[in-house]
Structure 1
Amino acid sequence: MRQFLLLLVLSLSFCSAQKRKASDTFQQGIELTQQADSLITLGKYKEAIMVLNNAIIKTPDNYTAYLLRAQSKYILKDYTGAFQDYKSVLMMNLGKEDNQALAYANLGIGTCYNRAKNYLEAIRYLKAAKAIDSTDTRTYDGLAYSYFSLTQFDDALVELNALLKINPQHKEAYLSRGIAFLFKKQYQSAIADFDRALALDAGYIVAYHNRGKAKKALGDKAGCCQDWHKCYALGMESIEPDLKTVCD
């Protein structure tokens, strides 16, 4: 199962509520935040963090700046720093008009906890994010990953089913649901989901690999080897020992 890396692609729409109460200093903070957002778009995360540091000094309650800085820190693998920035947002006295910021902060904290393998805490925060915004597929992604890591496959399936209702074109969700079925030894259901993932991406190596596993479990050696040879043809050299053992 792929590790769900949930990078938060943020919109500066959060700033709209804050602009209504803007002073000159606050406006400077908003402009710095917009500048940092442009730097993030260019992949200049260190530079963005420096600009956001100044934005936060000028506007300590600028939650958009904290969220963007958390995103940048996460990408740079400063997970502790990202966690602290997300926490700072939750500590602000935000109202209902700021619910989207709260959802992002809870999602970010849950993602950090998943990264730290603290899955129970991840579930707590991801559920909080889902309670605020039930349309964000990343929350279901994160919860499925948490439950999967705890080998709670039925719970993972619940989240993946909900995710796929929101986005039926989510190939990673079909892959993950297929792997959950694989662990539950429901091989036909697993194959059906790997088929769906491959219908969306014919070059999806990991789907071929896992579909081969399911076919092997059903005694379909020819089908298994066909999928694993496809993996090798697509560049998965690590499959070669299995090809020699099972298929040659």
Structure 2
Amino acid sequence: MKRGWKILLNFMMILMLLFSLQAQSATAIPETNSLFYLGIENIKNHQYQQALSNFTQVIKLKGKLISAAYSNRCLINLQLGNNQAAKSDCTTALTLNSNNVETYLNEGLAEYRLGNYPEAINQYQEVIERNKYDYRAYYNQGLAYFALANYEKAVENYEQALLSSDSSSASVQALIYTDKGLTYFRLGNHQQAITDLNEAIRLSPDNEKAYYHRGCVYSKIGDYRAALTDLTQALQLNYQFSEAYLHRGWIHHQIGLEQVALEDFNLALQQFEQQGNTTAYQQTQALIEQLHQILAQSNRSLVS
């Protein structure tokens, strides 16, 4: 099951950085101050390349805002997918100011995306040591433990994230319950997985990921009717959900509806092609070829 959609950090956090810089900005030279806040405005307007240029200029001018400029440039590089550059900028920012919680979070995300999961865990731990109620750090740390297949530790982090997120939105809590349910699924605790995914759906009825994962759990325990209902609901919420087509096709194949399975596999194939997911495209194409062979053999049996 893909996890590419999962990460809690978002770029509105820049506004939190803005508050922490009010005292510094009064002593910054006018040109640096102007460039810095122009970068902030460009981030708000999703003009990331312009913002990148703004903060690079601030860094060249040095001054009081240089640490924040590195931190914000890290944020932009994350948005642009420049993860190695993001990591470098965050490391420099923390060298200049080791107390910026947001920078630890952002460097953790960069490490996570680079596949450096233990390093990501360490960055999130730095956040927790400074603020034991920051649910983002617990949640993101849980994702890193999940990636390391340390599912018990991931569950601990998700539970702590829920305890620390009482004032957060229902959609945030639904996200955490979704991942917690998926983790219990990996642990083989199917009933707890369903319980958590039920709660995710209650909190966020339009959560197609929760329907998808619950459908996978139902499929695993052999409740194909419930699985098909959930996978179809996930597709109604997101018709581009390639994995849901693929899994629904597999269930249709399992219950002997080969033609319907073929339709689902073809829909999955189309989505994987549009996404540029070459590996999944090739694997699905192989499934379709195998299914065609099954149908051909079945037709020959009927004729003979």
Give the TM-score band, short-chain normalised: 0.7 to 0.9
The SS at the match of 2:81 is coil
Greater CA deviation, 165-174 or 150-159?
165-174
* Structure 2 residue corresponding to 1:47, chosen from 72, 81, 85: 85
Question: CA–CA distance in 2 between the matches of 1:44 and 1:181?
Answer: 38
Match in the other structure for 1:106: 138
Matched position secondary structure for 2:128 = helix
> 1:1-248 to 2 correspondence within 5 Å?
1-3=1-3, 6-10=6-10, 11-15=13-17, 18-19=20-21, 28-92=66-130, 94=131, 99=133, 102-133=134-165, 135=170, 136=172, 137-231=174-268, 236-244=284-292, 246-248=294-296
Contact 1:174–1:197 (CA under 8 A) maintained in structure 2: yes
Deviation at 1:167, TM superposition (A): 2.7
Segment drifting more, 225-234 vs 120-129: 225-234
- 1: CA distance, partners of 2:238 / 2:217: 20
> Structure 1 residues 201 and 246, CA, compared in 2 at 3 Å: closer, same or farther?
farther
Higher alpha-carbon deviation: 18-27 or 120-129: 18-27
- C-alpha change, 1:67 and 1:189, in structure 2 (3 Å) is same
Unaligned runs of 5+ in 1: none
Question: Unpaired runs of 5+ in structure 2?
Answer: 28-62, 272-280, 297-304
Moved more, 14-23 or 166-175: 14-23
Amino acid at match of 2:73: Q
> What is the Cα deviation at residue 144 of structure 1?
1.8
What letter is aligned with 2:75?
D
Rg larger for: 2
Other structure's SS at 1:60 match: coil
Structure 1 residues 231 and 53: alpha-carbon distance in aligned structure 2, compared to 1, 3 A threshold: closer
Q: Aligned in 2, Cα 1:61/1:77: closer, same or farther, shift over 3 Å?
A: same
- Greater displacement, 143-152 / 26-35: 26-35
C-alpha separation in 2, matches of 1:233 and 1:41: 27
Residues 44/148 of structure 1: CA separation in 2 closer, same or farther (3 Å cut): same
How far apart, in 2, do the equivalents of 1:247 and 1:203 lie? Answer: 27
TM-aligned CA distance change 1:176 to 1:74, over 3 Å: same
Shift of 1:222: 4.4
Q: Following TM superposition, by how much is the alpha carbon of 1:219 offset from its aligned partner in structure 2, in angstroms?
A: 4.4
Number of equivalenced pairs: 242
- Change in CA separation of 1:229 and 1:38 when aligned onto 2, cut-off 3 Å: closer
Secondary structure of 2:206's counterpart equals: coil
TM-score, with structure 1 as normaliser: 0.83
Higher RCO structure (Cα 8 Å, ≥6 apart): 1
CA distance in 1, matches of 2:226, 2:150: 30
Relative to the length of structure 2, the TM-score reads: 0.69
Q: Give the CA RMSD over aligned residues.
A: 2.8
Give the CA deviation at 1:107: 0.9
